[in-house]
Amino acid sequence: MKPLVTKGWNRDIIKEYRSGKLPILTINMTRECNLDCIYCHTDAGEKDKNELNSREWIKIIDESKELGNEVLWIGGRGEPLLDRAFEDVIKHANDIGLTTILNTNGTLITKDKAKFLYENNVSPEVKIISFDEDIYDYLAGTKGKLPFLRQGLKNMIETGYGQIIEETDDSRVTRISGMLLLAKPAYKSMPEVFKFCAENNFTPSISDVVAAGRVVKNRNLEELKLTEKENEKLLEKGSKIMGYPLKGGFEDCHIQYGVFVQNNGHLIVDRFGMSCDVCDYEGRRSIGNLRGISLKEGWELIKNERKKNEKYISRAYDEFRCYSNKCFSACPMALQSQKDYYSE
């Protein structure tokens, strides 16, 4: 069976980057969240001060379009649906022809919200950590939210999500993903999640527990992280259920080839000039703030930083490939955060 791929992620982001385009704009909206997940890599919870408003986000999105961008990924330091700017951002992105990929925990997706997302060309990535209520409550750090996730998933499916919208020579394109966390407490319940994804055409987006954010704060990496053998077994089971091989090991992280804008306007880069802030890790820094410079100026700063560090980027990825061929950490920086965790 052909693999599932979610609309937005079916683009060749690295090819677009090499052609000179800004291939993807990633934004972290509010830090506010209605869950308190014990694995959270950003330690989300309360709203940050000085978060960007609708007008500021729309200006950045317009500038990204002028630089050739066609994909907006809303990662969120928390739950993006709680941001007051959320609907304005979604509507405007659709109005100018962007495909939006939305990272959400799914518990706030009412029927009206599902319809709004569907009509505005949004590809949701929904966190499905377990369908076992006790395990879900434990990992989410909040009791009683699983029924809301189930209802949110039902609302999205009834709206039209989960259908195959295109079939290529090597994939089936859908408009929704299930974000599956490979965590030790959920190990036995994961086959049920894979089964749900297979039955409803949710692309399984698989991630590992990262030594960042709340994991570092709580020192609970050992409690959460699967062994290499457990990872392999889950991949085997998941591949059998999905009907095609699920990818394990190292993959170049495409989002790093775009720009990553923090909820306060900072453009985030790592020590090599790659752009990502999926994890709260000290190796990342701001290269400028879009309240003071244009996105075009920031994009030039980032490209110059990458050019300067080109040989070091290559070396870092080569080392990462050798060290972690079975690792689901996204990049050398995530690997470094894990090394630093164990060295503390």
CA distance 297 to 299: 5
Question: What is the side-by-side order of every strand in the sheet holding 285-289?
Answer: 203-208, 177-182, 122-127, 99-104, 71-74, 25-27, 259-261, 266-269, 285-289
**Nearest of 4, 117, 122, 16 to residue 73 by alpha carbon:** 122
**Residues of the chain above pLDDT 70, percent:** 90
CA distance 266 to 245: 38
Q: Which residue has the tokens 């060749």?
A: 12
- Kindly report the pTM of this predicted structure: 0.93
The dihedral region occupied by 284, where left means phi > 0, alpha psi between -120 and 50, and beta the remainder, is: beta
pLDDT, one tens digit per residue, over 208-217 is: 888 888 998 9
Three-class SS state of 180: strand
CATH node for 4-343? 3.20.20.70
Confidence of residue 172 (pLDDT cuts 50, 70, 90): very high
pLDDT, one tens digit per residue, over 21-43 is: 999 999 999 999 999 999 998 88
Alpha helices in 170-309 (DSSP H): 190-200, 214-218, 221-224, 228-242, 295-308
Cβ-based neighbour number of residue 300 at 10 Å: 12
Residues in the chain: 344
Q: What is the pLDDT of residue 329?
A: 55
**Nearest of 180, 181, 185 to residue 204 by alpha carbon:** 180
Confidence of residue 250 (pLDDT cuts 50, 70, 90): very low
